[in-house]
Amino acid sequence: MESAEIARRFLRFFEERGHTIVPSASLIAEDPTLLLVPAGMVPFKPYFLGQRTPPARRLASAQKCVRTPDIDEVGKTTRHATFFQMLGNFSFGDYFKDEAIPFAWELLTKPESDGGFGFAEDKLWVTVYLDDDEAADIWHKKVGVPLERIQRRGIIDNFWSMGVPGPCGPCSEIYYDRGPEYGVDGGPIADENRYLEVWNNVFMQFERGAGGAKEDFPILGELPSKNIDTGMGLERMAAILQGVDNIYEIDTTYKILDRAAELTKSRYGRDPRADISLRVIADHVRTGTMLVADGVLPSNEGRGYVLRRILRRSIRNLRLLGSGEDRYMHELTGVAIDVMGEQYPELKADAPQIHGVIDAEEASFLGTLRTGTAIFDVAVEETKRKGAGTLGGEQAFQLHDTYGFPIDLTLEMASEHGLKVDEEGFRRLMKEQRDRAKADAKAKKTGNADISVFGQLLERTGKVDFLGYDHVTAESGIVGILLDGVSVPAAGAGSTVEIVLGRTPFYAEGGGQLADQGVIRTDSAEFDVVDVQSPIKGVIVHRGKVRSGELRVGDQAQAEIDVERRRAISRSHTATHLVHRGFRNALGETAAQAGSENSPGRFRFDFTAAGAVPPSVLRDVEDEVNAVLIGDLRVNAFHTTQAEARAMGALALFGEKYGDTVRIVEVGDYSRELCGGTHVASSGQLGLVKVLGEASIGAGVRRVEALVGLDAFRFLARESLLVAQLSEQLKARREELPERVEGIVTRLRAAEKELERLRSAQVLEVAGELVAGAADQHGVAVVTHRAPAGITPDDLRKLALDVRGRFPAERAAVVVVAGVPSDRPVVVAAVNDAGRGRGLRAGQLVGVAAKALGGGGGGKDDVAQGGGARPEAIGDALRAVETAISAALA
């Protein structure tokens, strides 16, 4: 039975039993305390905590999940994986144990021909919590499981909580006996390899207090409303129903593994080391594909770092299998899209964008590998030569900071060489480099406590109505005031607070559009709105300062946005849509939006692209967009179903998740996108769009910045004035300026080269005099010389080498020259072979001089360079060198 069919049967079974089917939430967790969704119940967490009301009392879902704490074990075992899917049914104060337990048993044991999974009843074992007699009785008396196949386990195995105060309760798990070839007899308590867990029923019936995450906490009492949370691992179920040994051999994983083996000319099952690499590749390619599909982009922080690490581990393991410089991720990603596409059709629709991101990361990392691996090998060789067992934190930091090597990769590669890494030193250097104290003022509040306040407000007052599409002012009552995340009844002048209205014209930041600003007035107070956010769906929060008077919950208020700011932002937002369409027309559908910011008079637009966009393409897109403005196309917004929107060809923001009903914004027949932002009435209102340029902001992602309206006109006016001034100064017509400037630059460079030649010749002119005037110390020719002002470090080096080269090979000689380029002294020492034979070393001599100059330096025995901060000490430095030479020779 294929994985997609397993999911279909599960959801169909519970839909027939009154459950509302909820699509998988994005892997990007809505809970700000999580980077990614690690468990099937996470999207339902606000319902269990009472922060929001569920859409129905019975729900069921097939949820995508990613967990990476055990990422280093992936591939080494056949049990660990980073991506998996959890099938779950949930009850919120509806049914409890007496229905949840029979539901699970019925679906598992019902024949496949009747829509079940066809498990033999005598193959199933059950565990319950130690004192959960109620569950044990239901299993035995109602379902008919023999007592000898019901085992009791303690709090570690069969009691669940979120790890924080809140709902908790006992678990009851169902295990499948794979047979004696997989382990010993005796049920799950004897061997969890032979007896494989396939279903977990969580009975949320108690409230726990603060304490240890797993077992050290008090039970405060029973919940007023009991809930059910169940989970069935789709991949594990597929392994059993498909008759394979592990999750790497099921349909949605093995096809990737098999293709990776074919591409790298490997064979699964022959070489344990190759098997590990193949399993890593299969798991990580699937995980990376799903993360990119949900809008995660490779970066060096947060969930972007998780993705980058996963993709780079895949690429490196391909190299370990002998892929060399060949790029296989595109094909393997295609296999992942095919095998997962039946369950998630959006993968196929978004395939070009997914390929674009992963292909770019592969190209970037292959270059990193080439450079970084060479540096790493040198560091390993040096560490082993010293007899040390730990790679220094400085070396690990250099690999990360200079060559883009993730610390995880350094740790992994060092382990392969039998070395450890000074992680503490690495972390210290990273901390010194970053300013971790900086916080995003517009970020959502974190933690359940803050979210809970907004959830309770939503429960009490209902959804906030947004009127801003049609109105710039509105009357409404103040339904909530928050001070430092805590609800308060009133706020006086000077207070910085958050205000919630029953309805508002203020747009909350989202979809790349900056928030509105403005003022909220009551009969007795004024409040300046500087930011607007939506911390949870349905709540709009106005952040700012009470300018005068006192605001009170229940007061009637007049909300008024800054109209000119809104209009300028709306022009930018509409321009972003047009530029998006323009780049798609120019570069193809792979140029998918990867982010934007629409601010007054200007915007930035991020999109996926394999490389830099040629200037000619930028000009063409700019021309095309401004032609649309001249056409003054009508901008129309309307709501429809998501399916209808796709059928119309409306563009959706890559990785963004939308509800069943979506809002479409179209500009004539030119552009059509899903969007919740505000826009102009017609394209002509934009006036002018001026693209300033584009640049890379990460592997496979480019950023375009542009101006709109008056800002664009003012920019061009300044540019025109500048061109007029150049034309006047150079006595050339505007169209002649490029050629004229190029000629001036060419002549200037030629003059600089000639000056450089003359300066070098002048410096070297004194070489003969220095050789002739060399002092003799114990049979060694010694030259110490202070060069004139204006000399370059390169000239100093040339002079030292030229003077040294004029002495006969058999004559021991040492040359030390010093000068002051750019206000900082530099010293160069050169010693010939005969001089080194007398024990003189250039690096040591430079060290002596540099110390006198208040600096440092060194180098090889034959030539070395150093410097300092005390130009007035050059004479002392040269005398110190002479003394050191005399002492060494004596």
What is the identity of the amino acid at 473? T
Nearest to 687 by CA among 567, 843, 822: 567
Confirm whether residue 675 is marked as ligand binding: yes
Asked if 30 contacts 43 with a C-beta cutoff of 8 angstroms, the reply is yes
* All residues at 6 or more sequence positions from 175 whose CB lies less than 8 Å from its CB, including other chains: 124, 125, 126, 127, 187, 188, 192, 195, 196, 197, 198
Cross-strand pairs, 158: none
Following CA atoms 399, 403, 408, 410 in sequence, which dihedral angle do they give, to the nearest 10 degrees?
A: -40
* All residues at 6 or more sequence positions from 366 whose CB lies less than 8 Å from its CB, including other chains: 315, 325, 327
CA 884 to CA 890: how far, in whole Å?
10
CA 336 to CA 83: how far, in whole Å?
12
CA 391 to CA 845: how far, in whole Å?
31
Confirm whether residue 65 is marked as ligand binding: no
Q: Beta 556-561 vs 635-641: how paired, if at all? A: unpaired
CA 812 to CA 838: how far, in whole Å?
7
Rg (C-alpha) for the chain, rounded Å, is 35
- Tally of CB atoms within 10 A around 89: 26
Q: DSSP for 771-813?
A: HHT-EEETTEEEEEEEPPTT--HHHHHHHHHHHHHHS-TTS-E
Nearest to 285 by CA among 244, 318, 326, 245: 318
- Helices and strands per DSSP (H, E), number in the chain: 26, 34
State how far the alpha carbon of 259 is from the alpha carbons of 102, 272, 317, 544, 807, in Å. Answer: 41, 18, 14, 56, 67
What is the identity of the amino acid at 324? G
CA 544 to CA 562: how far, in whole Å?
14
Confirm whether residue 542 is marked as ligand binding: no
CA 606 to CA 589: how far, in whole Å?
14
Chain centroid to Cα 545, Å, comes to 34
* 3-state class (DSSP) for residue 752: helix
Confirm whether residue 580 is marked as ligand binding: no
CA 30 to CA 536: how far, in whole Å?
9
Cross-strand pairs, 637: 665
Q: Enumerate long-range contacts of 638-647, CB under 8 Å, 24 or more apart.
A: 638/663, 638/664, 639/663, 639/664, 640/664, 645/674, 646/349
495: region left, alpha or beta (phi > 0 left; psi from -120 to 50 alpha): beta
CA 814 to CA 818: how far, in whole Å?
14
> Which residue do the tokens 């969580």 mark?
202
- List the binding residues for Zn(2+): 573, 577, 675, 679
- List the binding residues: 573, 577, 675, 679
